[in-house]
A and B are shown apart, each in its own frame.
Chain A
């Protein structure tokens, strides 16, 4: 593979962005169907090239080395751009472009008739390009550039329907919260460059990823330095991957179009944080403190988000919380050193979670709402969507032999096998999350597809019109009601079902085929684990502990069973299981939104901090300068009174002055 072919993976979607934004939108109108085809063609091309890249990396048994190119040189600062094509990159490329392709095809149906059709595809191609750029980057600064561009395109996509205040708000929230984490990433880069002197002595460049590996391997950086570096990078990852305590932006981000969530909140943007930790893994590995921080953060996130998924009524939010929880899984895996297992879970999760989001979108197409309280019985009108959602749910729950089972089990086994206290703690957290995962996703499944239809958005609109209920219509629901006289409860068009089916196949087989315990035709046993290992490490078969696998299966089935009893068979009333204070806590999202938005941002920062400072600026700093100005003006007024224009006064002053001079002269 040539380097230019690898760059083309980045430039194809970028070209689609420019074509959509600069030519199609201005000249062919905001709804030109060409935009969709151009984007699909470009991303399809990028996908094929990514497959080629993967094949090349596999057959070459590792990294393809291309020299980087100079971007900016000032003094000792040498910022370079280039491609780091190693197994991690190759796998990520296939995931990103593959899921993106499926989502773009799905969007042709989903976004059909939207006034911003071309704009949508422009943003989608920009997002794909940014994500590809992040994955390809060979220098930390280049990564940061695309990292921020990923943030930008997610801002644009979440706020796509910017006439909805909630969407515009959610977009800002996503950008600012993730940027809070990005400060850590930024400072880590500054801190790396701070050590440029030590790097230069060895002929290395502190901003090049490969050179960072070398330096860490050679112990060029002290252990404290490595810990701080890792914490900085991890802060960035916490923001992007929506880990506790910066997870708050992701649920709100569901304001964007659903295919957007399937792409950026399942497979790509949120996975970027996990990718960053994996990319910088040697730095993390060199610091026990950093590894423990990653593991514990991941474990807490996995459980915390799962509890919120249990009580959410919005199907998309259930899936969103589930994403946070699963990302926590990947983080905790990285934290206990299970690099391969974490990336394997990222790989599988991308498919089944994108499928679940697309399924939620398909359901919304029929019901006009994401509110599961007004759904039910949809399996009869949407048999395909139902079947595929079921596949996704089983895979997420980790039921043998679907994809999710394999990677979840690997993570649990590795965590248990690691043996340290922290690892044992996160092992228990992960087990708890496994049970909850199965429960909440099947709760969503039963509420949505089983039972009887509860009227969809029309019913919700009636409820909202009734002052006795607390129901309020979201902006999208109101628009849906306004746009359609009768709802279209039926199966979604083929352009939506086919991409879902493709992801459905992957959600079943990706785990088993990619990392089978025994050799398959053409694929070696434990292929994924042997292929993807941390820089400086080596591939080995994953740990397998039979009783752990059995236990996690059992927990998953128990979760499904309980969900069936409560929401499927309805033989247990949900109220019986509800612990009221806990319920309130999860529904109010542990009061974190209130803490962050109302108290810290609204009160402490805006009212007290900025407010007082503005008062100070206006009433003191400015006032002082105005007073000085006023003083000199009144001084000028006094002096100007001397200029009366009367010759007698001047004559008097002249004589007086001459007298003073004479007196001084005489008295000397």
Chain B
């Protein structure tokens, strides 16, 4: 029941917020925070309870005859790949709630949607039935749409709609893919949506060509990740979303794309993944370099971080492309690195958006040339911003380094030249991150910021949590990599001919 509780607690919390709490903003906030804390503890329990020596799927919650006519089950379980992502969702959900303290309208709806969002993402990472997975996947869109279009800024309706349409189009492809897999299993004699069974079946001979099914899923996940050229929804959505939603979007929603790629594309279609490896690596390198170069030109802090996400998520795809590229270099390192990067980018970019939000709350601007000289006024915020930036540029002792070095080490044997090109992305990251910090935090004191103070204790909660996560993974990556590798090692044997 632990997983069910972890997934549905935020949903129950959302119902309570809407129906029982009344309109007292303070009470709503505190209740949401309490739900966030408890759900974080539950997520931590999931992570710790997962027995990495045993491996496989654990903590299973199954109700096999949910919709028996259609072979649809209620089936939650975690393996080494999803357990850390559940933890990540709990962590960022909590950080998002604490970054919402300054929300000043329609509190009840806001926190209800935010909690629903958290439940949906938890569901995506734990559902092991294709239909349930798809339901959670779609469920996440509704809160996102409302959160951006009501509490956002700028062209918020446009951005919310753009986000919705992009993801929805991707989901349509995925639905076709799911149905194709389902009816193919029927043709094989056992109709099933059970993902834990599907990974063990040979899906090379489907009703549709397996390359096509692979592509259907890939499109859905590529939009989410996002990969060039289907990335343009991301900067808009981030720029116009409220802080907490940016945190959730960058922190966990993008991870659904990477998770899907590993869970479905790589695990269920290893032959196609092998054949497509070089193409995936090329796409990854384009995303890494393209994203980084476009980042240099941004003058809006949020848009800048959003574009850097495109570059950093490219490393996830790069790691994925390493597996099965060559028969003699079949190794879990690159794929584990990709999974590490999912987690790392989540906490790092989460922290970046939290700090951008803090700066915006105080200065009411995100335009970099207007900022500057903030470090002297808010030393704590400056330190947190610096830590996030350094992790983003992959400095050792932060999670960013642990993830990226594993991606590089794992991918270099498979794609030497492409990996070499990708390392330039790390150099560019150093450039745009430090240049941004230089222009927004450092430089001479500005009189217009003289009235600013450092951030409050409540505002410190999220940065401290995320900094601890960044440093812990950076100093001892085995904390995570051991668990991820457990999941990855189950995928690998599928690649041996």
Closest residue of chain B to A195, judged by CB? Answer: B413
Closest residue of chain B to A142, judged by CB? Answer: B396
For A638, list chain B residues within 8 Å (CB).
none
> Range of interface residues on chain A?
35 or more
- Minimum CB–CB distance from B269 to chain A (whole Å) comes to 22
Residue B21, interface by CB 8 Å: no
Contact B485–A75 (Cβ < 8 Å): yes
Contact of B232 among A175, A611, A613, A622 (CB under 8 A): A622
Residue B442, interface by CB 8 Å: yes
B284-320 interface bits toward A, Cβ cutoff 8 Å, 1 = contact, 0 = none: 0000001001101100000000000000000000000
Cα–Cα distance between A473 and B397 once the two chains are bound (Å): 39
Residue A91, interface by CB 8 Å: no
Contact of B412 among A71, A146, A191, A197 (CB under 8 A): A191
For B409, list chain A residues within 8 Å (CB).
77, 189-190, 193
Residue B346, interface by CB 8 Å: no
- Minimum CB–CB distance from B148 to chain A (whole Å) comes to 16
Residue A544, interface by CB 8 Å: no
Which residues of chain B in 403-455 are interfacial with respect to chain A, using CB atoms and an 8 Å cutoff?
405-406, 408-410, 412-413, 416, 419-420, 423-424, 426-427, 430-431, 434-435, 438, 441-445
For B434, list chain A residues within 8 Å (CB).
155, 171-172, 175-176
Closest residue of chain B to A173, judged by CB? Answer: B434
Cα–Cα distance between A28 and B375 once the two chains are bound (Å): 19
- Contact flag A77-B333 (CB < 8 Å), given A165-B444, A179-B430, A193-B409: yes
Cα–Cα distance between A410 and B424 once the two chains are bound (Å): 40
Residue A229, interface by CB 8 Å: no
Of the stretches A156-164, A301-309, A400-408, the one at the interface is A156-164
Cα–Cα distance between A72 and B441 once the two chains are bound (Å): 35
Contact of B481 among A74, A152, A164, A168 (CB under 8 A): A74
Closest residue of chain A to B443, judged by CB? Answer: A165
Number of interface residues of B (CB under 8 A): 59
- Minimum CB–CB distance from A48 to chain B (whole Å) comes to 26
Residue A187, interface by CB 8 Å: yes
Contact A168–B443 (Cβ < 8 Å): yes
- Contact flag A610-B396 (CB < 8 Å), given A172-B435, A176-B427, A193-B412: no
Contact B333–A176 (Cβ < 8 Å): no
Closest residue of chain A to B331, judged by CB? Answer: A75
Closest residue of chain A to B439, judged by CB? Answer: A168
For B328, list chain A residues within 8 Å (CB).
197
Cα–Cα distance between A8 and B489 once the two chains are bound (Å): 37
Contact A190–B332 (Cβ < 8 Å): no
Contact B390–A152 (Cβ < 8 Å): yes
Contact B420–A163 (Cβ < 8 Å): no
For B463, list chain A residues within 8 Å (CB).
none
Contact B412–A145 (Cβ < 8 Å): no
Cα–Cα distance between A436 and B466 once the two chains are bound (Å): 53
- Contact flag A76-B333 (CB < 8 Å), given A159-B442, A169-B438, A617-B294: yes
Residue B137, interface by CB 8 Å: no
Contact A152–B416 (Cβ < 8 Å): no
For A168, list chain B residues within 8 Å (CB).
438, 442-443
Contact of A613 among B290, B444, B476 (CB under 8 A): B290
Chain A facing B: main interface SS: helix
Contact of B294 among A77, A171, A190, A613 (CB under 8 A): A613
- Minimum CB–CB distance from A162 to chain B (whole Å) comes to 4
Contact A183–B424 (Cβ < 8 Å): yes
Closest residue of chain A to B293, judged by CB? Answer: A610
Contact B166–A163 (Cβ < 8 Å): no
For A625, list chain B residues within 8 Å (CB).
162, 166, 230, 232-233
- Minimum CB–CB distance from A408 to chain B (whole Å) comes to 36
Residue B395, interface by CB 8 Å: yes
Contact of B442 among A73, A163, A614 (CB under 8 A): A163
For B438, list chain A residues within 8 Å (CB).
159, 168-169, 171-172
Contact of A73 among B375, B412, B478 (CB under 8 A): B478
For B420, list chain A residues within 8 Å (CB).
187, 190
Residue A141, interface by CB 8 Å: yes
For B477, list chain A residues within 8 Å (CB).
71-72
Q: Which of B402, B419, B430 has the most chain A CB atoms closer than 10 A to its own CB? A: B430
Cα–Cα distance between A73 and B402 once the two chains are bound (Å): 12
Q: Which of A155, A172, A193, A632 has the most chain B CB atoms closer than 10 A to its own CB? A: A172
- Minimum CB–CB distance from A476 to chain B (whole Å) comes to 13
Contact B401–A148 (Cβ < 8 Å): yes
Which residues of chain B in 252-266 are interfacial with respect to chain A, using CB atoms and an 8 Å cutoff?
none
Contact A621–B232 (Cβ < 8 Å): yes
Residue A539, interface by CB 8 Å: no
Residue A194, interface by CB 8 Å: yes
Which residues of chain A in 586-635 are interfacial with respect to chain B, using CB atoms and an 8 Å cutoff?
605-606, 609-611, 613-614, 617, 621-622, 625-626, 629, 632
Residue B341, interface by CB 8 Å: no
For B412, list chain A residues within 8 Å (CB).
190-191, 193-194
Contact B336–A74 (Cβ < 8 Å): yes
- Minimum CB–CB distance from A117 to chain B (whole Å) comes to 14
Residue A144, interface by CB 8 Å: yes
For B228, list chain A residues within 8 Å (CB).
621
Q: Which of A162, A169, A611 has the most chain B CB atoms closer than 10 A to its own CB? A: A162
- Minimum CB–CB distance from A11 to chain B (whole Å) comes to 13
For A179, list chain B residues within 8 Å (CB).
426-427, 430
Residue B13, interface by CB 8 Å: no
Contact of A176 among B161, B376, B413, B431 (CB under 8 A): B431
For A629, list chain B residues within 8 Å (CB).
161-162, 165
Which residues of chain A have a CB within 8 Å of any CB of chain B?
A: 70-77, 141, 144-146, 148-149, 152, 155, 159, 162-165, 168-169, 171-172, 175-176, 179-180, 183, 186-187, 189-191, 193-194, 197, 605-606, 609-611, 613-614, 617, 621-622, 625-626, 629, 632
A-B contact pairs, 24 of them (CB 8 A): A70-B478, A71-B478, A74-B332, A75-B331, A77-B406, A77-B410, A145-B397, A148-B401, A149-B395, A163-B443, A165-B442, A168-B438, A175-B430, A179-B426, A179-B427, A183-B423, A183-B426, A189-B409, A191-B412, A193-B412, A605-B296, A613-B297, A621-B229, A622-B232
| 12 more CB-based (< 8 A) A-B contacts, given A71-B478, A163-B444, A180-B427 | A77-B409, A155-B434, A162-B441, A165-B442, A171-B434, A179-B426, A186-B408, A194-B416, A610-B293, A621-B231, A625-B233, A626-B162
**Ranked 3 nearest A-B pairs via Cβ:** A145-B396, A162-B442, A168-B442
